[in-house]
Amino acid sequence: MVAKKTAAKSVAKKPTKKPLKKVASKKRSTTKKPAEMQSFRVYKDTQPFTRIGFSRQTIYWSILLAFIIVTQLWILKIQLDIANLTALLAN
């Protein structure tokens, strides 16, 4: 038979607890920083609403408007072509 070895018991040492030193709180003055524009957050507008000027959004809206107008004109042309074809077939 094989003899079983008994595991030696080791006593874990507990760390000594030192009292925490209390640090006196200091007053910190903060400078007011301008609010950064972040997604899904309201931020304070730094420019007046009635300001006239071009921004990146102006360019985006102009491109979108041009795309919509061109698409509508293309649809109108197709409808006029269909109306002309039906008029020719009716005669």
Q: Where are the domains of the chain?
A: 54-91
Within 10 A of 33 (CB to CB), how many other CB atoms are there?
A: 6
Looking at residue 7, what is its pLDDT? 62
Residues of the chain with pLDDT under 50: none
Q: What is the pTM of this model?
A: 0.44
Neighbours of 12 (CB within 10 A): 5
> What is residue 35's predicted lDDT score, i.e. its pLDDT?
67
Note the pLDDT of residue 86: 97
